[in-house]
A and B are shown apart, each in its own frame.
Chain A
Amino acid sequence: MNISNSEYGELTKKRSPDSKMYKTLPKAFFIGGIICTLGEGLINLYGYLGMDEESAAAVTSITLIFLSALFTGVELYDRIAQHGGAGTLVPITGFANAVVSPAIDFKSEGYVLGLGAKMFVIAGPVIVYGLSASVVYGIIYYIVSLVAG
Chain B
Amino acid sequence: MDVFLEYLKAFLVGGAFCLVGQLLIDLTKLTPARILVSYVVAGVVLGGLGVYQPLIEFAGGGATVPLTGFGSLLAKGVREAVDKDGLLGAFTGGLNACAAGITAAVFFGFLAALCFKSGSKINEK
Contacts and interface: CB of A to CB of B under 8 A. Distances in A.
B109 A119 contact: yes
A124 to B, nearest CB: 9
A135 B78 contact: yes
Contacts of A119: 106, 109-110, 113
B23 interface: yes
Nearest to B17: A90
Interface in A47-83: 57-62, 64-66, 69-70, 72-75, 78
A139 B121 CA distance: 46
A138 B93 contact: yes
Contacts of A84: 18
Contact of A21 (B26, B41, B59): B26
A33 B67 contact: no
Residue among B15, B33, B43, B90 having the largest count of chain A Cβ atoms under 10 Å: B15
Contacts of A58: 100-101
Interface residues of B, number: 78
A21 B48 CA distance: 33
Nearest to A28: B22
A11 interface: no
Contacts of A24: 22, 25-26
Interface of B: 6-7, 10-27, 32-33, 35-37, 39-41, 43-45, 48, 59-62, 64-67, 69-71, 74-75, 77-79, 81-83, 86-87, 89-91, 93-95, 98, 100-102, 104-106, 108-113, 115-118, 120-121
Given A89-B35, A122-B32, A125-B33, 8 more contacts: A36-B13, A90-B67, A91-B66, A99-B105, A115-B113, A125-B36, A130-B98, A142-B82
